[in-house]
């Protein structure tokens, strides 16, 4: 089943503030290289048969490339993002406008939430992260608006500040995750819900290997996550490694650059 993704070219990408432990403004980042790496991610999706739509990048919003944070779209309904840090605040309305202009029903969130950075949608439930960015009350707001059960999970390691840095759906029913990124209770929830999950190592997590995108057959994943790739291959997945090292300097990987548009309007 082809997917529909929204992406944002990193034309204004930079590391000029630090809102997560990956970001070092004093070292900066190479924008041209980031654009080339992003282009190869987009090409990988298109080669797999997925559709990619684009939102115009806005000057002064260096993190706007991380489209996953822009919204949560389920059944064609768009729950808007409300960013935790002022540096990214203007991205929320920009993404919401993109959807509103195309006729999608939208909801402006009343609570802080960073879109698909902290909401990952499976067939029967939505997994939602909290602890660093998204307010747990936003989980309830999303559940009410989308009519899907939302399961709250608590993140405890600042390097894995968004749910999508610690877990990704392999398909509609199973996930891969890094257990140590979660609180003891949330770890237990994950163990109960997903007894057959792929468990990633610290080495995989430390290269943002969990920030991957699976269509159920193919998994687009950071090239450096070698153990994870091996595990995925053993399970029969087709692995598509991508190099997004420049975007990782802002704390992002393939999934961060990718907002899934679920269900057309
Ligand atoms: N620099 C961005 C931030 O800290 C990176 C966002 C990465 N996106 C994601 N979905 N994890 O907000």
pLDDT digits (tens, 9 = 90+) for 42-53: 999 999 999 999
Active site residues: 162, 256
pTM of structure: 0.97
Task: For residues 130 and 22, give the distance between their C-alpha atoms in angstroms, rounded to a whole number.
Answer: 19
Task: For residues 132 and 129, give the distance between their C-alpha atoms in angstroms, rounded to a whole number.
Answer: 9
Nearest alpha carbon to residue 51 among 262, 239, 252:
262
The string of DSSP letters for 59-88 reads: TT-TTTT-GGGGEEEETTEEEE-B-SSGGG
List the residue whose alpha carbon is closest to atom 1 of ligand 1.
Answer: 250
Residue among 6, 20, 181 to mutate when testing ligand 1 (max atoms within 8 A of CB)? 20
Q: What is the mean pLDDT of residues 148-177?
A: 98
Q: Which CATH class is domain 4-260?
A: alpha beta
Task: For residues 215 and 230, give the distance between their C-alpha atoms in angstroms, rounded to a whole number.
Answer: 18
Q: What Cα–Cα distance (Å) separates residue 123 from each residue in 26, 149, 170, 244?
A: 42, 10, 11, 28
CA of 129 to the centre of ligand 1 (A): 13
The string of DSSP letters for 87-138 reads: GGTTHHHHHHHHHHHTT--EE--SS-B-GGGTEEE-SS-EEEEESSSS-HHH
CA of 8 to the centre of ligand 1 (A): 13
Residue 1 — pLDDT band, cuts 50, 70, 90?
confident
Q: In what order do the strands lie in the sheet with 150-154?
A: 119-121, 126-130, 150-154
Q: Dump pLDDT digits (tens) for 198-233.
A: 999 999 999 999 999 999 999 999 999 999 999 999
Whether residue 165 has its Cβ less than 6 Å from ligand 1: yes
Whether residue 73 has its Cβ less than 6 Å from ligand 1: no
Q: Does pLDDT of 264 surpass 90? A: no
Whether residue 117 has its Cβ less than 6 Å from ligand 1: yes
Q: Where are the domains of the chain?
A: 4-260
Strand bridging mode 126-130 / 119-121: antiparallel
Q: What is the mean pLDDT of residues 71-89?
A: 98
Q: Residues 6 or more apart from 239 whose CB is under 8 A from it?
A: 218, 219, 221, 229, 232, 233
């Amino acid at each position: 089943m082809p997917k529909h993704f929204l992406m944002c070219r990193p034309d204004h990408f930079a590391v000029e503030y630090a809102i997560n432990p990956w970001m070092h403004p004093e070292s900066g980042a190479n924008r041209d290289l980031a654009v080339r790496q992003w282009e190869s991610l987009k090409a990988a999706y298109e080669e797999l048969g997925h559709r990619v739509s684009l939102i115009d990048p806005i000057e002064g919003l260096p993190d706007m490339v991380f489209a996953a944070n822009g919204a949560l779209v389920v059944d064609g309904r768009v729950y808007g993002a409300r960013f935790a840090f002022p540096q990214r605040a203007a991205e929320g309305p920009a993404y919401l406008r993109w959807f509103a202009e195309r006729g999608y029903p939208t909801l402006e969130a009343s609570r802080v939430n960073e879109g698909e950075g902290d909401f990952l949608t499976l067939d029967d439930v939505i997994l939602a992260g909290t602890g660093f960015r998204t307010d747990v009350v936003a989980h309830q707001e999303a559940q009410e608006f989308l009519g899907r059960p939302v399961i709250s999970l608590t993140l405890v390691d600042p390097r894995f500040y968004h749910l999508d840095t610690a877990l990704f759906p392999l398909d509609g029913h199973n996930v891969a995750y890094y257990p140590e990124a979660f609180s003891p209770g949330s770890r237990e929830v994950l163990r109960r819900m997903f007894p057959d999950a792929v468990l990633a190592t610290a080495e995989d997590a430390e290269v943002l290997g969990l920030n991957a995108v699976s269509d159920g057959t193919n998994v687009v994943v950071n090239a450096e996550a070698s153990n994870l790739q091996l595990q995925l291959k053993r399970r029969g997945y087709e692995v598509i490694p991508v190099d997004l090292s420049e975007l990782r300097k802002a704390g992002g990987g393939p999934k961060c650059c990718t907002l899934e548009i679920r269900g057309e309007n």
